[in-house]
Amino acid sequence: MTSVSEIIEQRNWQVVEAPFNAGKLSHLETIFTIGNGFLGLRGTFEEGYPGEMVSTLAHGIFNHAEGELVPDLVNLPNPLAVKITVNGVEFSMERGKGQMLGYRRVLDLRTACLTREVIWHNGVDAIVKLRFERFASLKNPHLVAQRISVRALLGTPIIRFNSRVDGTQNNEGVHHWEEMQTGGEGDLIFLNRVTTQSRYRIAVASLHQFNPMLKAELTLTAGQPSLAYQTSLAVDSEVALIKWSAIHTNRDSDDPLHAAQMTLKAAQQQGYESSYQAHVEEWATYWHDSDIQIEGDETAQRAVRFCTYHLLIAAPRDDDRVSIGAKTLSGPGYKGHVFWDTELFMVPMLTLTQPKIARNLLMYRYHNLEGARHKAQKSGFAGAMFPWESTDTGEETTPQWTHPLPDGTRIRIWTGDNEQHISTDIAYAVMQYWHWTGDDEFFLKYGAEIVLDTAVFWGSRVEYNADQGRYELTNQIGPDEYHENVNNSVFTNRMTQWHLQTAITVHDWLLREHPTAGAGLIERLGINTQQLTRWRDIIARMYLPKDPQTGLLEQFEGFFKLDRIDISHWQPRVANLDAVLGHERTQEVMVIKQADIVMLMALLGDQFGSRAEQEHHWTFYYPLVDHGSSLSPSIHAWIAARLDHMADAYKLFHYAANIDLEDLKGNIRDGIHAAAAGGVWQALVFGFAGLNLDEMGNLRLMPKLPSHWRSVRFRVWCKGQQRQIVIGDETSTNP
């Protein structure tokens, strides 16, 4: 018998939809995405509905279609499509003659398996129970498995399954494919394609097992091969279709179609149950390392697991040439592009709980250093300047313009030109990874080069103001994107100072610890004494605007002169303030899009200043923030907890953790807010738990838990050892 605590435990791993909610189609499609670090499949239904957004995305498959401003992460053919008819009536939950008698859809976070059960009257002569299961294998990331069963509850219906590989998908109207082959034979159907510009080859193939065994009818419509199986059912008997699908590309195999066929054959030999078990066991190892257990707050528990789930299904485990886009593999938002979201919001959780994956993500930046060097060179600078938006080539892929507004005008997007802090954000993530893992091999071979060459960029980028005798950075965009092209953004200037200081430390470490390899790298990057002298001078004389009267750092030069508006008067509101006030007016008011100075506090901790100074800045800046970006609340929650503002900390944490579950930003259709998910982990671990690794290698905890939480447990990797942290009745222990 199931105990109460088992029921609660199970509930804390499940996201449930019951009854069916047609009005939340796109919301639920996003949150019910399944994936395995190679691909992501939105939670659309097998049978298809108007208004749905079917999306099958695999890391790294970008294409720049003719006439488009920037590349897209390409929407692949959909392997999940299956239509079912019951005595000739097509199964549909919202149209036609049929009637829904019961419905429940569950995403089990622990097993990453999506199931749906429906009791359905076909409106004529039969009642059936349909059960759909799907998972994207974590054991073999090229494999997707579905099992669909139909049981006759009333009547003796004829059941027909029509299974397709649906190649009609595109990217919101943009087409990226040339068809190479539509094929099939026996129980197999497939599509073989190539992208128009990037020439990625991809095969999507499905193999079917039908019980009872029957010969299928094959139809090879171009771009939509299908197989139909038909049988009649006696009352209380069941029929089941297992659909195996394989996705391979020329990124993983020279002959993707052959590879897909091999994957399918192996899966069929292994069988559904055993394949599912292998998948679940693999998931257990990831949850062992990354789960956070909260006692005393079921809502937070489930929401935190939901965030962790979405980071884990998006995190590339076997590929170090791809990274996680701002919306993971769960939707079309930002066209799959990679931002600072990855390094400062997602990577920390992975560095501490899945260091191998964090390493892959940092290697993606290493492999793309050429693109970053190219960008620096094109802009007239030395070293490496990473793109604000990145895809598969490492080149800058931020669009320069928005799409036309209703009045036909377009707005210039400046982030690709001037949001340059990303180079330092990447260096910060590399240093954080090295600090926690002690992975000298990575650092010596790859990490140091990222940190140093981006420092070379800053050394050439910083401007000397001879009149004032100080160094400056003009025309920047800090995290607060409401104010563009500003001079002396404190975030950017202070992080540049940190970056150059760090680069000097790395330089010295290389020469001390690895004289031959270190000297080779330093020489290759052209770093010489003259340059080091300049870096030291910049560190000493970098301008950080500050009000001498109040001692407050000014977010950027001129910020304190902007118009003050009280944003509390604008609540409740869903739209961001820049959308309400308009682009121009927003620049004139003292409203901040997201954690900016507060982000600096999070990154620098005590190096930002004393506790009193932090409090002083929090008191001034917190009321000005609009949280216009989903990246904002979690970072504020983290700092609020450190400064003992526990009510605010919990409110912000709760908001961040539920952004997607409750669609709090109103744009969930575009995909998961992955940075928010990563920020939630940091708010909990660095904020509430106050975890820190000091320079001496000591793990420190300064817990400040919400008062209703009884305990928090999690594991972190630290210098190659896994440590279990327990906050609550017990104290920190080893595993």
Binding site residues, ligand BGC, CB under 6 A: 326, 334, 339-341, 479, 481, 593-594, 629, 631, 675
User: Closer to ligand BGC at the Cβ: 362 or 676?
Assistant: 676
- Least separation in angstroms between residue 38's CB and ligand BGC is 22
Q: Is 355 exposed, middle or buried (0-12, 13-18, 19+ CB in 10 A)?
A: buried
- Least separation in angstroms between residue 397's CB and ligand BGC is 13
In the DSSP assignment, the letter for residue 341 is I
Q: Which helix (H) or strand (E) holds 69?
A: none
- Least separation in angstroms between residue 380's CB and ligand BGC is 25
Rg (CA), the chain: 27
Q: How many residues does the chain have?
A: 735
- Least separation in angstroms between residue 479's CB and ligand BGC is 6
In the DSSP assignment, the letter for residue 103 is E
The half-sphere exposure of 677 on its side-chain side, counting CA atoms within 13 A, is: 30
Write out the two tokens for 526.
């052209």
- Least separation in angstroms between residue 106's CB and ligand BGC is 29
* 82, amino acid identity: V
Which one from 449, 481, 484, 554 is the annotated catalytic residue? 481
Rounded to whole angstroms, how far apart are CA atoms 135 and 549?
A: 60
Respond yes or no: is residue 615 known to be catalytic.
Answer: no
User: Closer to ligand BGC at the Cβ: 477 or 527?
Assistant: 477
Q: Per residue, what are the HEC states of 250-292?
A: CCCCCCHHHHHHHHHHHHHHHCHHHHHHHHHHHHHHHHHHHCE
- Least separation in angstroms between residue 393's CB and ligand BGC is 19
- Least separation in angstroms between residue 421's CB and ligand BGC is 10
- Contact between residue 672 and residue 330 where contact means Cβ atoms under 8 Å apart: yes
Q: Per residue, what are the HEC states of 676-735?
A: HHHHHHHHHHHHHCCCEECCCCCEECCCCCCCCCCEEEEEEEECCEEEEEEECCCCCECC
Q: Is 504 exposed, middle or buried (0-12, 13-18, 19+ CB in 10 A)?
A: middle
Q: What are the two backbone dihedrals, phi and then psi, of residue 39, each rounded to the nearest 5 degrees?
A: -135, 160
Rounded to whole angstroms, how far apart are CA atoms 106 and 31?
A: 11
Residue that is written with structure tokens 């909260």 in the block: 294
- Least separation in angstroms between residue 193's CB and ligand BGC is 29
User: Closer to ligand BGC at the Cβ: 384 or 631?
Assistant: 631
Rounded to whole angstroms, how far apart are CA atoms 543 and 494?
A: 8
* 722, amino acid identity: Q
User: Closer to ligand BGC at the Cβ: 33 or 594?
Assistant: 594
- Contact between residue 332 and residue 668 where contact means Cβ atoms under 8 Å apart: no
E strand map for 78-223? 82-86, 89-90, 99-108, 113-121, 127-136, 143-154, 158-164, 177-185, 188-195, 201-211, 217-221
Cα distances (angstroms) measured from residue 149 to each of 82, 105, 276 = 12, 15, 16
E strand map for 350-458? none
CB atoms within 10 A of CB 473: 23
- Least separation in angstroms between residue 658's CB and ligand BGC is 18
409 alpha-carbon distance from chain centroid: 31
Q: Per residue, what are the HEC states of 470-503?
A: EEECCCECCCCCCCCCECCCHHHHHHHHHHHHHH
User: Closer to ligand BGC at the Cβ: 73 or 159?
Assistant: 73
User: Closer to ligand BGC at the Cβ: 184 or 394?
Assistant: 394
Catalytic residues, by residue number, are 481
